[in-house]
């Protein structure tokens, strides 16, 4: 009888462990190569990631009151950094949930605007240009819609996400744009449009991008020579990909969310780490084949950290129908259009999303309440919040009793108001004086 040997499980290699072992060495060797205006942002992001989930830097303590405090659980603070492999995933989930309020129920097109290799170094040393990159991509799309019919004044919806890394981790800035396949005209009417010509996208993208470089370096001879060289080399324009179409609005939000804040590399792609070198794999974009690459550990860290954005830099920008001042109106217009043209049963009001708590996310992932007492089965109560800089921020003994008293006072007031309403009228005070609320609905004196 042939016995099959069990394969040994590959050890999970964590990026945070690599950083903890070599971060100080990286700063000594390559710290000066980080652009000056980026150094503080990079250091802060990496140090936050290294502290993520470490109770020495802060935690929330839960206690089972039913067991008289015998059972306790400490939940360490997370860093909430986009650079962190663990927190980046949660950031994306929260963002996608929030977008369900804003995303329009129409077809969307995913368009990727790329940059030739000759220009990437300019954007690496001038990170403020990344915002212009996003603006220029939106400008290309908006111009086409507006020129399509100047009289109707089309307004299209665009969500643009800046991405700075390729699959091999090299610095490769590009823009992922989620574009509505249609627009609203000046008469507040929705018009479906399914196709923007590739030739226009490539040529227009090339022009606005090279015009941006010309504006940034108006007196530079090197810049002029480079611009002329790129026009000759890329006669069909810069590469733009626009094949993926999405019917579902929620699916579109999830798809673009993948590019929002994910780390440069997922940890399952790291094959081997021996303390000196890191070997990882990626799928070649052109051939679809799996390729492997091996780097020295300091070079690997350098490839990761070069994608950290400046603090408070917005990776996502909204244009047209996705601007805050236009989005609510666009929701109503498109809701009515769907009701008339697509036989939708009712005009759906956008759902108001609520941020899920840590407990709810853990229950969804593992199917268990993380705060359930292992002794009696009751849910533990928050007892203390502690931070390494500020000490005890909140405690049940000091602040919890006051909170309970305030809640009891509110409940008594609500009961009192209901009783008075039942008797016919209630007397209330306001900053302008006293007014009477009569029991007749909608009548105020």
Per the domain annotation, does 82 fall within a domain? no
Q: State pTM to two decimals.
A: 0.79
Residue 333: which residues within 8 A CB-CB, separation 6 or more? 184, 188, 189, 190
Number of domains in the chain: 2
- Percent of the chain predicted with pLDDT > 70: 83
The verdict on 224 and 110 lying in the same domain is: yes
Across 219-240, average pLDDT: 94
Tell me the two tokens of residue 388. Answer: 């390494």
The verdict on 191 and 335 lying in the same domain is: yes
- Is the per-residue pLDDT at 377 higher than 70? yes
Per the domain annotation, does 253 fall within a domain? yes
Q: 262: alpha, beta or left, given left = phi > 0 and alpha = psi -120 to 50?
A: beta
Worst-scoring range by mean pLDDT, 181-190, 292-301, 336-345?
336-345
Across 47-67, average pLDDT: 91
The verdict on 318 and 204 lying in the same domain is: yes
Angstrom distance (rounded) from CA 110 to CA 114 = 13
Residue among 181, 180, 185 at smallest CA distance from 160? 180
Per the domain annotation, does 29 fall within a domain? no
Per the domain annotation, does 122 fall within a domain? yes
pLDDT top residue among 245 and 222: 222
Boundaries of domain holding 412: 397-438
The verdict on 108 and 227 lying in the same domain is: yes
- Is the per-residue pLDDT at 432 higher than 80? no
pLDDT at 138: 96
pLDDT at 439: 36
The verdict on 419 and 316 lying in the same domain is: no
- Is the per-residue pLDDT at 337 higher than 60? yes
- Is the per-residue pLDDT at 219 higher than 70? yes
**DSSP-based three-state secondary structure for 430:** strand
- Is the per-residue pLDDT at 239 higher than 70? yes
pLDDT at 406: 65
For tokens 């008293």, name the residue: 405
Per the domain annotation, does 228 fall within a domain? yes
The verdict on 312 and 413 lying in the same domain is: no
Per the domain annotation, does 408 fall within a domain? yes
In tens, the pLDDT along 14-28 reads 999 999 999 999 999
The verdict on 311 and 434 lying in the same domain is: no
The verdict on 405 and 259 lying in the same domain is: no
The verdict on 330 and 402 lying in the same domain is: no
Across 351-356, average pLDDT: 65
Per the domain annotation, does 20 fall within a domain? no
- Give counts: helices (H), strands (E), the chain: 12, 15
Q: pLDDT-derived band of residue 293, with 50, 70 and 90 as boundaries?
A: very high
- Is the per-residue pLDDT at 59 higher than 60? yes
Exposure string over 178-196, b if 16+ CB within 10 A, otherwise e: bbbbbbbbeeeebeebeeb
The verdict on 326 and 413 lying in the same domain is: no
The verdict on 323 and 257 lying in the same domain is: yes
Is there a contact between 254 and 248 (Cβ–Cβ < 8 Å)?
no
pLDDT at 344: 54
Is there a contact between 79 and 87 (Cβ–Cβ < 8 Å)?
yes
The verdict on 311 and 430 lying in the same domain is: no
Per the domain annotation, does 251 fall within a domain? yes
Angstrom distance (rounded) from CA 294 to CA 271 = 10
Distances in Å between the Cα of 338 and the Cα atoms of 64, 248, 328 are: 52, 13, 15
pLDDT at 259: 67
């Amino acid at each position: 009888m042939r016995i099959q040997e069990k394969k040994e499980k590959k050890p999970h290699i964590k990026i945070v462990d690599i950083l903890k072992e070599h971060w100080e060495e990286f700063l000594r060797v390559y710290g000066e190569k980080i652009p000056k205006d980026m150094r503080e942002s990079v250091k802060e992001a990496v140090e936050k990631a290294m502290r993520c989930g470490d109770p020495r830097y802060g935690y929330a303590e839960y206690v089972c009151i039913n067991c008289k405090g015998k059972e306790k659980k400490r939940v360490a603070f997370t860093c909430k950094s986009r650079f962190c492999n663990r927190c980046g995933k949660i950031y994306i989930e929260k963002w996608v949930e929030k977008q369900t309020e804003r995303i329009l129920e129409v077809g969307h097109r995913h368009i990727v605007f790329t940059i030739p290799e000759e220009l990437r170094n300019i954007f690496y040393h001038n990170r403020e240009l990344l915002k212009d990159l996003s603006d220029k991509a939106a400008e290309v799309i908006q111009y086409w819609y507006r020129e399509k019919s100047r009289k109707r004044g089309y307004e299209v919806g665009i969500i643009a996400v800046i991405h700075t890394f390729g699959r091999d981790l090299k610095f490769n800035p590009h823009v992922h744009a989620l574009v509505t396949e249609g627009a609203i005209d000046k008469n507040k009417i929705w018009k479906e449009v399914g196709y923007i010509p590739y030739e226009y996208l490539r040529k227009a993208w090339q022009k606005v991008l090279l015009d941006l470089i010309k504006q940034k370096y108006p007196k530079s001879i090197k810049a002029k020579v480079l611009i002329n060289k790129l026009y000759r080399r890329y006669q069909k324009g810069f590469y733009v990909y626009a094949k993926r179409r999405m019917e579902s609005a929620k699916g579109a939000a999830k798809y673009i969310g993948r590019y929002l804040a994910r780390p440069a590399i997922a940890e399952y792609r790291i094959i081997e780490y021996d303390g000196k070198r890191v070997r990882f794999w990626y799928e070649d974009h052109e051939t679809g084949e799996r390729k492997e690459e091996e780097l020295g550990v300091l070079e690997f860290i350098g490839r990761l950290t070069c994608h950290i954005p400046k603090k408070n830099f917005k990776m996502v920008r909204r244009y047209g129908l996705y601007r805050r001042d236009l989005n609510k109106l666009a929701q109503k217009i498109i809701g009515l259009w769907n009701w008339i043209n697509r036989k939708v049963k009712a005009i759906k009001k956008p759902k108001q999303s609520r941020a899920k708590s840590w407990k709810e996310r853990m229950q969804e992932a593992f199917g268990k309440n993380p705060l359930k007492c292992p002794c009696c089965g009751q849910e533990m109560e928050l007892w203390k919040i502690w931070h390494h800089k500020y000490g005890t921020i909140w405690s049940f003994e000091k602040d919890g009793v006051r909170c309970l008293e305030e809640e009891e006072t509110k409940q008594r007031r609500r009961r009192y108001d209901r009783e008075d309403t039942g008797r016919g009228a209630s007397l209330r005070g306001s900053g302008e004086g006293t007014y009477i609320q009569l029991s007749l609905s909608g009548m105020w004196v």
